[in-house]
Amino acid sequence: MSTAPPPTDPGPPRPPDFTAVQAGPEFGELRRSYRSFAFPLTVAFILWYLLYVLLSSYAGGFMGTKVFGNVNVAFVLGIAQFVTTFLIAWWYSRHAAAKLDPKAEAIKARLEGDA
């Protein structure tokens, strides 16, 4: 008869301590990288949009100035709103792939390795 104790069941895996991860330096660096890109660009775009709205409301003569043919300043600036939206989205995706995703993957790998 064997006198060895039966193997102990470690039980279900414990979930990661998310508050500790959030308070850690890796997560703080990830948050700083995101905020240093997103906040200034968001403010700049909102100001650019408000400039367009204010010019449309209060500078009708300027916005109606013909650039060429039937294309006026308002139309050019309106198209520029779309262009800048797509450029910002493209720029953010490059920034996220280069700076944010590697940091997030490192945090995720550490969390999944601990689980």
Measured between its terminal Cα atoms, the distance across the chain in Å is 36
pLDDT at 65 over 90: yes
| DSSP secondary structure string for all residues of 90-113 | HHHHHHIIIIIHHHHHHHHHHHHH
- Comparing 104 with 16, the larger pLDDT belongs to 104
In the prediction, which pLDDT does 22 show?
84
Please give the angle made by the CA atoms of 75, 92 and 37, to the nearest 5 degrees: 105
Helix (H) or strand (E) holding 4: none
Question: How does pLDDT run across 17-41, given as a tens digit for each residue?
Answer: 778 888 889 999 999 999 999 999 9
Query: What's the whole-number mean pLDDT along residues 84-111?
Result: 94
In the prediction, which pLDDT does 7 show?
65
Q: Residue 109 has which token pair? A: 């790998």
Average predicted confidence (pLDDT) for the chain: 89
